[in-house]
Amino acid sequence: MAIPVSYNVRNLIVRKATTLMTAAGIAMTVAVLLGVMGLVSGLRSALEATGDPLHVLVMRKGGNAELTSLLTQQQFQIVKSFPGIAVGRDGQPMASLEVVTIVNLPTEAHPEGENVTLRGLPPRGIEMRNLKLASGRWFQPGQREVVAGKSIANRYPNVQIGKQLRFGKGYWTVVGVMDAGRSAVNSEIFADSNQVASDFNRSDTLSSALLQATDEVTAGALKTSLESDRRLNVTVMSEKDYYALQTVSATPIRFLGIFVCIIMAVGSCFAAMNTMYAAVARRAKEVGTLRVLGFSRGSILLSFLFESLLLSLIGGVIACLVVLPLNSVTTGLGNFMTFSETSFNFRIGPEVMAAGVLFALVLGAIGGLLPARQAAKKEILTALREI
């Protein structure tokens, strides 16, 4: 015969001060885990949403980042002549030769500045990407004008339409803000490729070429044929794969967060264990009475274990409520491949919260098992004599 759940609920309510303190300790541990998971999930979501399966990225041989890649104008002329590249409405191949560098922009939190990706590209490069303007207009070729991603505009007070940024050989005017959805492109600044190349003395040697294939099968064939051409000596990968590799930036944060959570989890387990041991000690007569009424040792063990799980569940729910306001909050994280900051939103979704609640239940199970076992092992007469 099982002990009613109402018995456990009543005991938690009667001991509300102890219940809340223990639940709060568990909630702090789970909240840290949820924050780290939300951070990693947001970065992964932004990078996975970036790129088109039809896009092929061409970089120097052995290159894994556009920032450190070199591609000459001569190589580009050969690259864009390969079969399988889609053709635009003007009859020209959908190919964009781009230069990628970093510029330093100050923020309110960091007046000394942070690195931001500057991408110089031709109008064709904008046409190939799924972008829209949130405000303003696109830059004009040959002009010192930039269009910033919306995440950059939100985080940097100087990156507003009409204001000027100083980098390269002079001042650049912000003329627009672009919206790339959840894409990491929101963390970039776009400008005319020829003007950027001139300012950074890279008129002949740029960074990479972006190609658009006619279909996904052709994209694979195009990659193979480009890499096997000895004239080029290049590395080719799909744009989706390129951004997927950048999720490595979140690895140190994830490991550090998990390490902190493990340390806090040990403390939370002891807190839950201490609470349940105290409950067993105070309710010794109740345990004896339950045995007299016919409840088995197994029922008592399950009842106390369930009470510990219920206690940890309260902590998990509190943690979810505490961390939920972080959802969609914009933050930034340094990218080890681009050496610049990638802006993205925290993502505290259902799967993250479910993982947090499950983690809380594990803490409750570990912390409640030994006290529940002690309660179940009590002899009837011994339990009834205890004060």
Given a contact cutoff of 8 angstroms between Cβ atoms, the answer to whether 276 and 244 are in contact is no
In this structure, are 228 and 255 located in the same domain? Answer: no
Given a contact cutoff of 8 angstroms between Cβ atoms, the answer to whether 279 and 13 are in contact is no
**Domain edge (last residue) among 202, 232, 262:** 232
In this structure, are 213 and 69 located in the same domain? Answer: yes
Beta-carbon count within 10 A of 92 CB: 11
Q: Ranked by mean pLDDT, which of 5-14, 186-195, 294-303 comes out on top?
A: 186-195
Beta-carbon count within 10 A of 51 CB: 21
Residue 55 lies in a domain: no
Beta-carbon count within 10 A of 134 CB: 17
In this structure, are 76 and 220 located in the same domain? Answer: yes
Residue 107 lies in a domain: yes
DSSP-assigned states of every residue in 199-242: HTT-SSEESEEEEEBSSHHHHHHHHHHHHH-TTT-EEEEEHHHH
pLDDT (tens digit per residue) in 329-374? 777 666 666 666 677 778 888 898 998 899 888 888 888 888 777 7
In this structure, are 86 and 150 located in the same domain? Answer: yes
Predicted local confidence at residue 54, as pLDDT: 92
Rounded to whole angstroms, the Cα distance separating 141 from 110 reads: 32
Q: Is the pLDDT of residue 2 over 70?
A: no
Rounded to whole angstroms, the Cα distance separating 31 from 27 reads: 6
377 vs 355, residue with greater confidence: 355
In this structure, are 221 and 266 located in the same domain? Answer: no
In this structure, are 258 and 227 located in the same domain? Answer: no
Q: Which domain holds residue 81?
A: 62-232
Query: CB within 8 A of 12, min separation 6: which ones?
Result: 19, 307, 310, 311, 314
pLDDT (tens digit per residue) in 144-174? 999 999 888 888 888 899 999 998 889 999 9
143 DSSP 8-state letter: S
In this structure, are 99 and 195 located in the same domain? Answer: yes
Residue 288 lies in a domain: yes
In this structure, are 29 and 89 located in the same domain? Answer: no
Residue 239 lies in a domain: no
Number of structural domains the chain divides into:
2
Rg (CA), the chain: 30
User: How distant, in Å, are the alpha carbons of 1, 302, 316 from that of 374?
Assistant: 19, 12, 25
In this structure, are 215 and 306 located in the same domain? Answer: no
pLDDT (tens digit per residue) in 101-148? 989 887 766 667 788 899 999 999 999 988 899 999 999 999 999 999
Mean of all residue pLDDT scores within the chain: 83
pLDDT (tens digit per residue) in 40-71? 887 777 777 777 889 999 999 887 888 889 99
Residue 115 lies in a domain: yes
Q: For residue 337, give the 3-state DSSP assignment.
A: coil
Residue 353 lies in a domain: yes
Given a contact cutoff of 8 angstroms between Cβ atoms, the answer to whether 358 and 264 are in contact is no
Residue 243 lies in a domain: no
pLDDT (tens digit per residue) in 204-222? 889 999 999 999 899 999 9
**Domain edge (last residue) among 232, 263, 293:** 232
Predicted local confidence at residue 260, as pLDDT: 75
